[in-house]
Amino acid sequence: MLDTTTICIVAIICLTLIELSKNGIEKSKADKEKFIAEKAAHEAETEAIRTERAKCPGPRT
């Protein structure tokens, strides 16, 4: 049979692993949100450049 100390150690390890996986998931979500925000900012900047260029007549250099 397993003694109480072994059961407690296994429980602590399991809880630690669960907590680490939660932190990893949260970090992954934050990284994804950051990427989406950066992509949107880049697209807005690109669109602003296109709009500004459209205002200028003449050949492109």
What is the average pLDDT score of the chain? Answer: 88
Give dist(CA 45, CA 49) in Å, integer. Answer: 6
Q: What's the pLDDT at 41?
A: 95
This prediction's pTM: 0.56
Q: What's the pLDDT at 56?
A: 81
Give dist(CA 56, CA 16) in Å, integer. Answer: 60
Location of structure tokens 């949107």: 40
* Count of positions (residues) in the chain: 61
Region 9-37 average pLDDT: 91
* End-to-end Cα distance, the chain: 81
